[in-house]
Chain A
Amino acid sequence: MPATETFYDVMRRQGITRRSFMKYCSLTASALGLGPAFVPQIAHAMETRPRTPVIWLHGLECTCCSESFIRSAHPLVRDVVLSMISLDYDDTLMAAAGHQAEAALEQVIEEYRGNYILAVEGNPPLNEDGMFCITGGRPFVEKLRHAAEGAQAIISWGACASYGCVQAAHPNPTQATPVHEVITDRPIIRVPGCPPIAEVMTGVITYMLTFQRLPELDRQGRPAMFYGQRIHDKCYRRAHFDAGQFVEAWDDDNARRGYCLYKMGCRGPTTYNACSTIGWNEGVSFPIQSGHGCIGCSEEGFWDAGSFYDRVTDLTQFGVEANAGQIGGAAAAAVGGAVAVHAAVSALKSAQVKRQQAAREEA
């Protein structure tokens, strides 16, 4: 019976030694920002607690979240978490297909009602009754609602599920809608990013499976331990920002010196993510380290917020592509000009009135 199987059982079955298991526990503790005192607690939880099944649904998406997830830096994290998930349901990664896969989904929903975690990659399009995304012969939004009913909690993977991402960009013809606007009666954790960092994804799942509760969330429902600070706050180029040393053009001397990319439109100062601490591809690098500004992929509506090289959003309401500075400057110049004209007319008018008065007095 899978319900009695613990994480530890799964790991041992995978041929993982006790020593490696303890290493994994301490790694997890530090990844989650917990002290060494939590290591035995994590080990105990993984040894005794029946594992929580995870259903992984795919809506309108590009699968970059899955691609990121299976590249998690620590192989142990990947193997353990991934093998547990593939046991249940993930139509991209599971061995079963077609009716078998759908039967597996139904089985998990029935057997673990109220106890499984629903991970959603991508989002449901609501226009035309959801016909823009059909999985398993029915609109994805129906499948999502069905699976969400018995879920303990929902994880919104990536910018798609969290905010809508590219398919929800203006004018959003399919009416792609983030998960929390469709499912409103379940706790939802948003893990934005396009894709999210692999270690962030495994970290969130491990935390939930280990402690049987949601990690601490911020106002937008993002795990505070990974999304509590901006890229900017821990950027290794921050000293150049404060010093006022900026890259002025791509491939100039300042770029070679590794100065701050703020003037090149880096969105690090407005983007909440863990890239500058965890890094990508097993911690090898992250965009700013590679000499390119942050494009703010984990922020709301980042496709509609202008070019990837603009830190300031264009305001299309005014009918032209202009940002706050340009519109404000134009308004100030227009008002300044109007004031100058008004002052000139006032002076002329005043002179005229004086002349008329003088004429009247003479008369």
Chain B
Amino acid sequence: MKDTSRDEEPIRSTPIHSVRDDVEVLPGSLLTGDATAADIESIRRRTSVYVYEAPVRLWHWINAAAIIVLCVTGWFIPNPPPTMQIGEATHQFTFGYIRFAHFAAAFVMTVGFLGRIYWAFVGNHHARQLFILPVWNRRWWQEVMFELRWYLFLEREPKKYVGHNPLAQTAMFFFMTLGITFMIFTGFALYSEGLGLGSWADRMFGWIIPLVGGSQALHGIHQLGMWAILVFMIIHIYAAIREDILSRQSMVSTMISGHRTFKDDRPD
């Protein structure tokens, strides 16, 4: 420590971690783990990296809540609950409310997804990871294979990643980015049937109905889409909790606070 007798400010700004410029920090994450040079600079000084900005986290949880509502009501729409005798049909709207909840959650999810796309443009570097797979990057493919081996218990220790690992990124791209887009398009095409010919939904999405061979076929593939998202949900929650325990970095809390913390100080 040098010159501690001066006023408080310089003491507080003096780093307690020593910066090791000779060590290359998280080289893997720099290439494929979605880390920027600023992130690396940050990790030299802090024990956490700010990854997910508030709008991304907010979207994640709103999207999760909407998907849960959509899956539950989406299960009940083709398989209605047992007939209920609460009152006259005119005073009872049970199945109507189930469908209403489905449509309301669908609008929430759609608006949220559009907001998320907007944030990919204006947000930080990590906000874009969901939308672009760097398939041209050789190293990225190696990391995908590495993660596969890690999940097959063939690797002893996982790598550190600031953003999503390449395998998670691939799953999110296909099941969420493409999956949500698919559900929005097929869902609003079905919604257009109720709004009728010439409605905004019909003009925007009505062309999908004859494309897939009619309304019944469209209902079928929309349902399959729901199951695909449900399968992703199971894997996603499991992987997040598993990696929170077994990996070298924080997972669940990162989507709450936005900060990725690392459990060890080894450079990779």
Q: Complex formed: what's the CA distance from A254 to B85 in Å?
A: 10
Measured between C-beta atoms, what is the minimum distance from B196 to chain A in Å?
7
Contact of A244 among B92, B214, B227, B230 (CB under 8 A): B92
Residue of A nearest to B222 (CB): A324
- B224: A residues at CB distance < 8 A: 324, 327-328
Contact A270 B234 (CB under 8 A): no
Residue of B nearest to A240 (CB): B89
Q: Complex formed: what's the CA distance from A114 to B250 in Å?
A: 75
- A263: B residues at CB distance < 8 A: 80
Residue of B nearest to A349 (CB): B153
Q: Is B15 an interface residue (CB 8 A)?
A: no
Measured between C-beta atoms, what is the minimum distance from A307 to chain B in Å?
12
**Using a Cβ–Cβ cut-off of 8 Å, how many residues does chain B contribute to the interface with A?**
49
Q: Complex formed: what's the CA distance from A353 to B81 in Å?
A: 48
Q: Is B235 an interface residue (CB 8 A)?
A: yes
Q: Are A346 and B227 CB-contacts (below 8 A) given A299-B216, A301-B213? A: no
Indicate the member of A245, A301, A346 with the most B CB atoms within 10 Å: A245
* Dominant secondary structure at the A interface: helix
Q: Are A336 and B234 CB-contacts (below 8 A) given A229-B196, A233-B196, A342-B151? A: yes
- A233: B residues at CB distance < 8 A: 194, 196
* Dominant secondary structure at the B interface: helix
Q: Are A324 and B96 CB-contacts (below 8 A) given A233-B194, A332-B234? A: no
Contact B227 A324 (CB under 8 A): yes
Contact A245 B227 (CB under 8 A): no
Residue of B nearest to A329 (CB): B227
Q: Complex formed: what's the CA distance from A4 to B151 in Å?
A: 83
Residues 19-52 of A at the B interface (beta carbon under 8 Å): none
Residues of A at the B interface (CB closer than 8 Å) are 218-220, 224, 228-230, 233, 239-246, 248, 254, 259, 262-263, 267, 269-272, 296, 299-301, 305, 311-313, 315, 323-325, 327-329, 331-332, 335-336, 339, 342-343, 345-346, 349-350, 353
Residues of B at the A interface (CB closer than 8 Å) are 78-85, 89-90, 92-96, 98-99, 151, 153, 156, 193-194, 196-197, 206-207, 209-210, 213-217, 219-221, 223-224, 226-228, 230-231, 234-235, 238, 242, 245-246
